[in-house]
């Protein structure tokens, strides 16, 4: 009987630790961004996976915009998925650890994109939420925060974290520029830890990074 109680208590403790671990992982990422600690960020991010996810978004827009192969938007997305691995070294120039800190700080990478983010009004809160849609946000200036904002609180993090199953959670933050800088981060659970392995950026930033990619491709011999 005692062993049953001990095992039950141990399992309950492990479950409790796992239940709070996504929020702790989000908090550790926030502290790394706020301290602009690149080394700490490297421990919490799978940069290869993040660059691939970013490459797929940028290349889909790139192929559609350049008309490479006269492909449709759906075909461009499929082609981008295939080309992402090849383009990853080039994307690495756009998303170094320092640039990622810059991006997560307020939702806009000023070190890569020189102009300011467009001020897009916040979207009205939807009536319902789909399986893959990020959480809706209070429509106020106060809700516009990046991970580097001193206004960010534990209550904000509780709202931002969205669990999906046992090995995945999303962290969505609105950024300081409204809808133009809303970022969605994807974390995957590896043995005993969570790591950032995907990032979804808004259309305005995707288009701007696509322009930057086209410039760099044009400068290649």
Q: Give the pLDDT confidence of 89-100 residue by residue, as tens digits.
A: 667 777 888 989
Q: What are phi and psi of 146, to 5 degrees?
A: -105, 175
pLDDT at 110: 81
User: What pTM was estimated for this model as a whole?
Assistant: 0.74
Rg over alpha carbons for the chain, rounded to the nearest Å, is 19
pLDDT at 67: 60
Res 214 pLDDT > 70: yes
Domain positions in the chain:
20-116+141-216
Which one, of 203, 186, 207, 190, lies nearest residue 53 by Cα? 186
Show the tokens assigned to 159: 């709202």
Q: Give the pLDDT confidence of 105-154 residue by residue, as tens digits.
A: 888 888 777 666 555 554 544 444 444 444 443 333 434 567 888 888 88
pLDDT at 181: 66
Residues listed for the chain: 221
């Amino acid at each position: 009987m005692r062993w049953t109680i001990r095992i039950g208590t141990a399992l309950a403790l492990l479950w409790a630790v796992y239940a709070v671990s996504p929020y702790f992982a989000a908090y550790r990422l926030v502290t790394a961004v706020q301290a602009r600690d690149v080394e700490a960020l490297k421990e919490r991010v799978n940069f290869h996976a993040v660059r691939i996810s970013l490459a797929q978004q940028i290349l889909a827009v790139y192929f559609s915009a350049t008309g490479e192969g006269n492909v449709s938007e759906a075909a461009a997305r499929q082609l981008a998925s295939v080309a992402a691995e090849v383009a990853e070294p080039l994307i690495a120039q756009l998303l170094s650890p320092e640039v990622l800190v810059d991006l997560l700080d307020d939702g806009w990478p000023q070190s890569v994109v020189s102009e300011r983010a467009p001020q897009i009004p916040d979207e009205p809160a939807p009536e319902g939420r789909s399986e893959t849609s990020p959480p809706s946000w209070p429509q106020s200036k106060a809700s516009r925060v990046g991970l580097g904002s001193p206004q960010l609180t534990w209550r904000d993090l509780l709202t931002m974290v969205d669990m999906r199953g046992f090995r995945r959670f999303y962290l969505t933050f609105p950024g300081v520029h409204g809808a133009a800088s809303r970022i969605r981060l994807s974390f995957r659970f590896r043995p005993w830890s969570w790591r950032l392995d995907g990032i979804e950026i808004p259309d305005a930033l995707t288009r701007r990074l696509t322009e930057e990619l086209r410039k760099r491709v044009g400068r290649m011999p």
